[in-house]
Amino acid sequence: AALFLEACNVIILIVTIGVTAFLFVHVAQYVSLHLKYLTYNVEGLEKRAEELYERMLGRKIKRSPEYNCYADPGFVWCYRACLKRCLLHHQLIIRWMRRLQNASEVPIGMAYFVGAIVIALSLSAIKTGTSLPGTFLTSLLYCLAEIGFLALVSLLSQRIIDQNENLRLKMYDCKWYNYPRSISLDVGIFQEMSCRPLCLTVFGIVTANNDTFASVMNSAYTYYNILMAI
C-alpha cells in the first residue's frame, strides 16, 4: 500500500511537471522558430526588396557595375518596406518573450533555487534507500525529473540566446555602408534592439542558460558530498 501511494505521488508530480514543461517548451520553441525565420528574412532583405521592386514596378533591377540600387528611390522604398516588416516581427517576438518571462520567472527561479538541494537529497536517498524499493523509486524519479526540467529550461533559453546573437550578426553583415540616411536610421534602431539580450532569467537576476545549469549540477554534487560526509 505504501509503495502504491508513493507511486501515485510520483505520477502526480511527473504529470504536473510534464504539463508545465510541455507548455513552456511549446512557447519557447515558438519564439526560437520565429527568431530563426526573422534571421532568414534579414539575410535575404536585398533579394526580397528586388522581388518586391519587380512586382510593384513591373521591371527588373539593372545589373551593371555603374548601377547603384540604393540610389534608386523605387528600390529604397521597397527595401524600407521589407525592413519595416522585419522590425514589426522583431517587436512581436520581444513581446512574446516578455510574456514568457513574466509567466515563467517564478517557477524557473524556484526550480533553479531549490534544484541543487533537491538533486543532492535525492541522490542521498537513492544511495541510502536501496533496501526500500518505494523510497529508491521515488528518489530516483525526483532526481531525474529535476535534472530533466532544469536541462530543458537551460537548453531552450540558450537556444533563444544563440538565435538572437545570430540575428545581431546577420544585421551587421548587411550592406549598411551603402544605405542612404533614411534606411541607415531604421537599420541602426534594429541593430540596437538586437543587441539587447533576449533570454529567460532566474528571478530577473541570473540568466537561464547552459552555464547556469552546469553551476547547479556542480552545487548539487557539492551538497551531496557534504551530506555523505556527515
Residue entry with cell 524499493: 133
pLDDT, residue 133, reads: 65
In sequence order, the 6+-apart residues with CB closer than 8 A to the CB of 139 are: 121, 122, 123, 125, 126, 129
Give per-residue burial for 182-214: e unless 16+ CB within 10 Å, then b. Answer: ebeebbeebeebbeeebbbbbeeeeebbeebbe
Give Cα separations from 115 to 40, 59, 146, 177, 186 (angstroms).
37, 62, 6, 49, 43
Sequential pLDDT tens for the chain (230 residues): 777 887 787 778 777 767 777 777 888 888 889 999 999 988 888 888 888 888 887 777 776 666 677 777 888 888 888 888 988 998 999 888 888 888 878 778 777 888 778 887 777 777 765 556 666 777 777 778 788 888 888 888 899 989 888 888 888 887 777 778 878 888 888 888 888 878 888 877 888 888 888 888 888 888 878 877 77
Cell digits of residue 37? 525565420
In sequence order, the 6+-apart residues with CB closer than 8 A to the CB of 227 are: 120, 121, 124
pLDDT, residue 199, reads: 83
pTM of the model: 0.78
